[in-house]
Structure 1
Amino acid sequence: MSAAPILRIDHVGVRFGGLVAIADLHFDVAEGEIVSLIGPNGAGKTTAFNVMTGFLKPSQGRVLFKGEYLSRLKPHEISRAGLARTFQRTSVFAADTVFDNVLIGLHRHAEPPLLDRVVPARRRADEARLRARAREILELVGLASRADELAGSLAYGEQRLVGVALALATEPTMLLLDEPVSGMNASETQVFVRLIRRVRDEGVTILLVEHDMPMVMEVSDRIVCLNYGRLIAEGAPAAIRADPAVIEAYLGKGGAARELAAEVQG
């Protein structure tokens, strides 16, 4: 891992009128890490993602990606800089094939030189390159055998994989996953865990928001926990698993805390 973080959340705050959604959030993500951002409902996780990806401007603080201040950039510019995200809901082109979904994503992101657009031979070569890359991405996410099927006909978990493929079509160096296994069964979740590791092995840093605690404990190098918009814990899964503040934030004290402890112990 590099010495400088690929992503730095530098004392970020977000307010909506008198409501404080995030208060003084600060953490780093190193290149090559898988980091999970967790917390109970309303903790500020998706708000933090929206700040990182340019959909919200922070009321205070700053977000730096590869040393660049993201508050200066629009969402599509942040994506082009190499920071991509998925969303909580599936967002696929249901009437197009799985292959065409990825190809559409590649076309939207790619901007070939003028000569490649106007010279037929170069245009054909560029199209062949994009089609080959689409096949590589589908192989990576495990959907190569479904390439010719309509995206809308796939099971829910597979549609989530198409969403990841669309994000990967932007050729990111970092990927933000917003509740990627929400609604998945146990076998689909395990497929997704393997995918996250494969994507990291391809050189993409991962930051994810997720409520599935056993999955988070299994896949994360490090975990950051929020409650009421504030950072309450940060560390390796073993430390977060035993952190009293984390357990209390989720389920309170007493018997509920013991239930959570039993769950995350797996």
Structure 2
Amino acid sequence: MSPILSIDHVGVRFGGLVAIADLHFDVQAGEIVSLIGPNGAGKTTAFNVMTGFLKPSQGEVRFRGTSLKGLQPHDITRLGLARTFQRTSVFPDDTVFDNVMIGLHRQGASGGAPGMARASLLDTLLGRAGASEQALRARAAALLDWTGLGGRAREKAGSLAYGEQRLVGVALALATDPAMLLLDEPVSGMNASETRVFVRLLRQIRERGITILLVEHDMPMVMEVSDRIVVLNYGRLIAEGPPEAIRSDPAVIEAYLGQGSAARRAAAEVREAACA
């Protein structure tokens, strides 16, 4: 079965600095795969290559069998590969609902999601909302309900807690109607209860046929939700496999233990997750 995403011996260099060295792994349709590693391992750099924000020095990325070489981020989004970012990317002075509407209008204007209803921005501003605009508003409301933000729709996005702002980012990514979603540290800033809710959301997203690749430092969450885990250290692939293999892999444990106190805590979380 052909993978939905293939990372084919990708390397990234900045002058003499090797950020990623010969990275290669596949993601199959319907999987939840986590990309983990100590700080500075190259995880976000890899995401930037996959989504067109950074050009690789070698190798290529293929999505649904199509090479992404030379494509711009918006071109890649149109193909069905969407992402969120490490930092929140909401429009803080607009309501949560309007944030999602902006995303839907952008998608329609760019000829994105198949079958997406389009509406004239002028008609919207003049209050002449036709059937297409009503369809967009209904879709925005459904996305907010799906991500647990329905009750916050009329609040300014910038007033939300950091974890909730990250959910707005997920709703914006889902507005592009993706076949695959790349999530960069999605539970950063969330408490334990919010993280549990987000894990349920991830599973619901997968149930709707969307493949997920995520970068995350919350080891218990990674171990719980992932079908497979890919581990980077200093830009190199050091391990790949199911959670039960990764949690006891000597190379993974050494990579975390060798990175100081913060990494030791992460390694301890890996061990605790193994006992959970």
Is TM (by shorter chain) over 0.5?
yes
DSSP-derived class of the 2:201 partner: helix
Alignment partner, residue 29 of structure 1: 27
Give the TM-score of the pair, scaled to structure 2: 0.89
TM-superposed deviation, 1:263: 2.7
DSSP-derived class of the 1:175 partner: strand
Match of 1:218 among 214, 224, 235: 224
Match of 2:14 among 3, 16, 20: 16
Match of 1:156 among 133, 139, 162: 162
Runs of 4+ in 1 over 6 A off after TM superposition: none
DSSP-derived class of the 2:41 partner: coil
Alignment partner, residue 43 of structure 1: 41
Q: One-letter code of the match for 2:193?
A: S
Q: One-letter code of the match for 1:264?
A: A
Matches within 5 A, 1:124-135: 124-135=130-141
CA distance 1:259–1:99, change in 2 (3 Å):
closer
Give the TM-score of the pair, scaled to structure 1: 0.92
Q: Does the aligned pair in 2 maintain the 1:251–1:260 contact within 8 Å? A: no
1:97 is aligned to 2:95: yes
Paired with 1:142 and 1:54, the residues of 2 have a C-alpha distance of 30
Match of 2:175 among 163, 169, 174: 169
What are the Cα deviations for residues 160-206 of structure 1, in whole angstroms up to 9, with x where unaligned? 11110011111111110001111221111112111111111111110
Match of 2:70 among 69, 72, 80: 72
DSSP-derived class of the 1:110 partner: helix
Matches within 5 A, 1:202-213: 202-213=208-219
Q: Does the aligned pair in 2 maintain the 1:102–1:165 contact within 8 Å? A: yes
Q: Does the aligned pair in 2 maintain the 1:44–1:229 contact within 8 Å? A: yes
CA distance 1:72–1:20, change in 2 (3 Å):
same
**Unmatched runs of 5 consecutive residues or more in structure 1:** none
TM-superposed deviation, 1:72: 2.4
Paired with 1:142 and 1:117, the residues of 2 have a C-alpha distance of 28
Alignment partner, residue 248 of structure 1: 254
Alignment partner, residue 259 of structure 1: 268
DSSP-derived class of the 2:33 partner: strand
TM-superposed deviation, 1:259: 3.4
Q: Quick check: 188-197 or 41-50, which moved more?
A: 188-197
What are the Cα deviations for residues 51-86 of structure 1, in whole angstroms up to 9, with x where unaligned? 000011111100000111111210111111111110
Alignment partner, residue 239 of structure 2: 233
Q: Does the aligned pair in 1 maintain the 2:38–2:233 contact within 8 Å? A: yes
